């Protein structure tokens, strides 16, 4: 089965609700999820590009409140200017063509307070627990393998706390709803405002504990197939 067929099969499994998906975040009765636009079309984001990350943090959480929410989410396939703050997302140099600079977000972000717990949506086996600690990288990252109706895929949780890497270990078998980690601060999460990067990966090429969360426009068709919209897997009807 090729990647495209596999991603379609996974999406159909979830849409048809052949099994229960546990929410990756446990909401209080007072919580409200609101979708944020953090793409290049948001002029405020461009204005914050050259400023300290604390300004981006303040903006994201105030933006969430302005929309009447307590937790902001979104970002799947958004093109974001801020990745150019780090050489991590540049193929070679600033002189490369735009289509080869990584700028399109492949996961969905949930903007949460530090220490907020994250939970597993499906039964799964912990594959890797790694601290990807480069500037604007994932920071503490956990990848879990799932097998649902004999179909295998993976979930990735990025920007966690350092303590999360002690909570679970590779080889552990966890049930849906088990705690997988907690949100980390900008001191440990790669230098980002506190949030969860949640991503689906159909084919995982290795066990290094990393996988691209941002793609270059030139490669987006491949990644769209291998990383379908994570909201389908989040346990929320949004």
Question: How confident is the model over 20-37, as pLDDT tens digits?
Answer: 789 999 999 999 999 999
Contacts (Cβ under 8 Å, ≥6 apart) of 119:
22, 23, 24, 25, 26, 177, 178, 179, 180
Average of per-residue pLDDT across 73-82:
92
Query: Where do we find the tokens 């969430």?
Result: 64
Assign 238 a pLDDT band (cuts: 50, 70, 90): confident
- The DSSP secondary structure of 160-201, one letter per residue, reads B-TTHHHH--TT-EE-TT-EEEEBPPTTTSSSPPS-EEEEEE
Please state the pTM of the whole predicted model: 0.90
Q: Provide the pLDDT for residue 115.
A: 97
pLDDT in tens, 190-237: 999 999 999 999 999 988 999 999 998 989 999 998 999 999 889 888
DSSP letter (8 states) at residue 77? T
Q: Provide the pLDDT for residue 92.
A: 47
CA distance linking residue 53 with residue 59, whole number of Å: 10
pLDDT in tens, 34-69: 999 999 899 898 888 777 889 999 999 999 999 999
DSSP letter (8 states) at residue 24? S
Q: How far is CA 33 from CA 28, 79, 95, 111, in A?
A: 11, 21, 39, 10
pLDDT in tens, 138-179: 999 999 999 887 788 999 999 999 999 999 999 999 999 999
Domains defined for the chain, CATH in brackets = 3-233 (2.70.70.10)
Q: Provide the pLDDT for residue 152.
A: 86
């Amino acid at each position: 089965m090729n990647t495209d067929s596999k991603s379609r099969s996974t999406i159909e499994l979830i849409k048809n609700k052949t099994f229960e998906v546990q929410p990756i975040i446990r909401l209080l009765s007072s919580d409200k999820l609101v979708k944020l636009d953090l793409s290049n079309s948001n002029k405020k984001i461009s204005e914050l590009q050259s400023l300290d990350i604390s300004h981006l943090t303040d903006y994201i959480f105030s933006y969430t409140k302005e929309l009447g929410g307590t937790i902001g989410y979104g970002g799947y396939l958004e093109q974001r200017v801020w990745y150019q703050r780090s050489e991590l997302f540049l193929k070679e140099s600033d002189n490369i063509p735009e289509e080869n600079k990584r700028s399109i977000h492949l996961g969905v972000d949930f903007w949460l307070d530090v220490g907020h717990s994250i939970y597993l949506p499906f039964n799964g086996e912990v594959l890797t627990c790694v601290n990807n600690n480069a500037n604007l990288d994932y920071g503490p990252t956990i990848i879990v393998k799932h097998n649902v109706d004999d179909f295998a895929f993976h979930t990735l949780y990025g920007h966690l706390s350092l303590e999360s890497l002690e909570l679970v270990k590779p080889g552990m078998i966890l049930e849906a709803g088990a705690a997988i980690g907690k949100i980390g601060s900008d001191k440990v999460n790669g230098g980002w405002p506190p949030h969860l990067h949640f991503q689906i990966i159909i084919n995982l090429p290795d066990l290094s504990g990393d996988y691209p969360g941002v793609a270059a426009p030139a490669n987006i068709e491949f990644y769209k197939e291998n990383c379908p919209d994570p909201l389908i897997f989040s346990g929320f009807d949004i």
